[in-house]
Amino acid sequence: MQGGTVGQPGPTLNTVAEAIGVSRQTVSNAINAPAKLSPATLALVEAEIRQQGYRPNNRARCLRIQRSCLLGYCAPRPAEAISGVMDQFVRAITTAAERRGHHILLFSEQSEHQGVDVPPMAVHEDLFAHRVVDGFVISDTDLGDRRQRWFAERRVPFAAFGRRWQQPELGPWVDVDGAAGTESAVAHVAAEGHRRIAYLGWPEGSGTGDDRRSGWQRACAARGLDTRLVATASNGIEEGRALADGLLDLAGPPTAFVCVSDGFAIGCLQAVRERGLEPGRDVAVVGFDDSPAAELPGIGLTSVRQPVEQAGDAVVEMVTDVLADPGRRHPGLLIPPTLVVRTSSVRTP
C-alpha cells in the first residue's frame, strides 16, 4: 500500500482523549458502548471526534477481538422479477451492518457445484467453520424452516427476517405483520363500498401466504362478507390474470381483489381491463410488497408496503447484539406494514 490514510499519522483515540482530558477508554466507550457514558461526556467526546475528523479503525478492533466482522447472507433466487423487495433488503442490511462496524458477505443458493450436489447449509457451514463470517442473516423463511434449528444446535449466531411459523420460534427474528396488511387492505376497499372482496393467494402451507390470507379472512368475516371468494396459484403475473379471470366469470363476481403479491395484482389489473372495466372505478385491486412497479404510470397499484429498511436494520441489530453478548435473548419483533393507496382501488380519483 502506498499513500492514503491507513497507517498515516492523524487523529486517533489518544489525540481525541488528550484534547479534552478524558481517558482513551472513555473515547472508545463513546464509539462502542455509548450507554456507559453520561450524556454530557458523550456529547463532549462526539464533538471532539467530529472536530478532529477521527474515524475509528474498525478493522483493528476486529483483529483485536478475533472476529471477521462479516455477516453472511445467502441471497434467495428472485421469486418475482418485478418484486425488488429482496434487493431493497440487501441494501438495507449492507448499510445497517456498516453502522455497526460489520460488512455483509453475500453468497447464493447452491444446490450443485461443478456437477456435485451441495448439501443444505454446506456453504454456511464452510464459512462459519473457517471463521470467514461471525454469523448470519437469513430471510425467506418458510413453514417449519430448518435453518434456525441448524444454527441453534451449532450455536451459530444468526437473526432471521421472517418466522418459521412453528412454536417455539428459534433465535431472534423480525417479521412484517402480513395479516395486519391484508386486514388494512380489506378495510380500505370496504370503505370504498365493496362487499364482494376476493383473495388471490398462494396455496396453503406457506407461513407467509397463510398469514396474509388469515388477515383477509378475519377482516371479511368481521364485516359479514363472503369468505369463499378465494383462488390460489404460485406466483406470476400471468397466473394472477388467470385467477382473476376465473372469479370474474362467476355469477356473483367480486368487485374487489386483495392479492398476496404485486405480481398477482398486476395480472389482475390486466384481467379487469381486458373486460372493458376500469381498475379503481369498477373493480378495486390491492397488491402486496409495494414493488417499484406499483407506482409506474399505467399501473398505479395500491399495495401493502413492507418496511424493509426497518426490518433490515432490526435483523442486523439482533445478530450483532448476539455477537456482543452470546447470552442475549431477543423476543421476536413484528413490524406493521402500511397501505399505499393509488388509483387501482379508489372509485373517484
CB 265 within 8 A of CB 303: yes
Q: Which cell numbers hold the place of 260?
A: 398476496
Smallest gap from residue 114 Cβ to a copy of itself (A): 7
Burial classification of residue 301, based on how many CB atoms lie within 10 Å of its CB (0-12 exposed, 13-18 middle, 19 or more buried): buried
Among 21, 115, 168, 327, binds a copy of itself (CB under 8 A): 115
**Applying CB under 8 A, does 65 fall inside the site for a copy of itself?**
no
Listed in sequence order, the residues at least 6 apart from 82 whose beta carbon sits closer than 8 Å to its beta carbon are: 237, 262, 263, 266, 291, 292, 293
Smallest gap from residue 270 Cβ to a copy of itself (A): 4
3-class DSSP state for residue 342?
coil
What is the contact mask toward a copy of itself in residues 277 to 296, using x (rule: CB under 8 A)?
---------------xx-xx
Binding to a copy of itself, residues 177-216 (CB under 8 A): none
Place of cell 488528550: 18
Among 24, 36, 146, 154, binds a copy of itself (CB under 8 A): 154
Among 172, 267, 280, 337, binds a copy of itself (CB under 8 A): 267
Binding to a copy of itself, residues 129-148 (CB under 8 A): 129-130, 132
**Applying CB under 8 A, does 126 fall inside the site for a copy of itself?**
yes
**Applying CB under 8 A, does 78 fall inside the site for a copy of itself?**
yes
> What is the distance between the alpha carbons of residues 184 and 339, in angstroms, rounded to a whole number?
7
> What is the distance between the alpha carbons of residues 154 and 168, in angstroms, rounded to a whole number?
17
Binding to a copy of itself, residues 225-264 (CB under 8 A): 237, 241
**Applying CB under 8 A, does 14 fall inside the site for a copy of itself?**
no
CB 32 within 8 A of CB 47: no
Binding to a copy of itself, residues 32-51 (CB under 8 A): 46, 49-50
**Applying CB under 8 A, does 324 fall inside the site for a copy of itself?**
no
